[in-house]
Amino acid sequence: MTSNLFDLTGKVALVTGASSGMGQAIALAMGQHGATVVVSGNDAAACAATVQDFAGQGITTLAVSCDMGDPAQVQQLADTALAQFGRVDVLVSCVGVAPVGSVLDLDANDFERTMALNLQSAMYLTKLLVPQMVARQDGALIYLASIAGVRGNRSIGLYGVSKAALMQLARNLAVEFGPANIRANTISPGVIETAFARPMLESPEVMAKRLAATPLRRVGQPEEVAGVAVLLASQAGGFITGQNLVVDGGTVISDGN
């Protein structure tokens, strides 16, 4: 039994934001553990390249480009995945934007765009995929949040608000659909070595402060987030639901020394 705990053979995983960064690492890890993977991103060429790479590793996959801020495209993404494979067992939502600045400087457009992409798109795609999970009495919902959602933020406050909302979404879904054997969780990374984190990574002053407050004294790698996603998608995480798993090298528990 224990040798199969992380096996995803026979599962279909739909991963948004999967053409780069953490989303791509998660999609790859799902495929390496046996899942068929629907790779979605807003860059069609990058999605196609990712699928070609995965296929070369023996992973069954499908590229579906999608602007997650457009409900019509989100609908098409869900319809295409279900038409092609007949099911989606695992949803991983990895898209997001992080406007920088004081909340006093952000306008309505910043708010609407951030909430539409970081929260509403995940809610809408979930709504489209959960019914077939309920029908099969099985499913896993995984949302990429952030440690910005569990603590105060001076310059990415709106991002933190949207990620905190994702955590609450997962808790609500866990309670509502747990009786149908559907699990819902969030993963909150700290600083991970991706293009998304490049502004921080390229600032020696910012990184010196962050690493001093991180017990492991380093940034994380996308594969370290991907491993947690595989846990939550597989039988190894079969009794985990409604939780927020922090993957940050200890930043949020540190005293800064």
Catalytic center residues: 159
Say which amino acid occupies 143.
Y
Q: How many other β-carbons are positioned within 10 Å of the β-carbon of residue 28?
A: 23
**Of 218, 215, 99, which is closest to residue 156 (Cα–Cα)?**
99
189-212 in b/e form (b: 16+ CB < 10 A) is bbbbbbebbeeebeeeeebeebbe
For residues 126 and 115, is the Cβ–Cβ distance under 8 A? no
What's the CA gap between 217 and 225, in Å, rounded?
17
CA distances from 16 to 20, 64, 117, 200 (A): 10, 9, 11, 23
For residues 112 and 127, is the Cβ–Cβ distance under 8 A? no
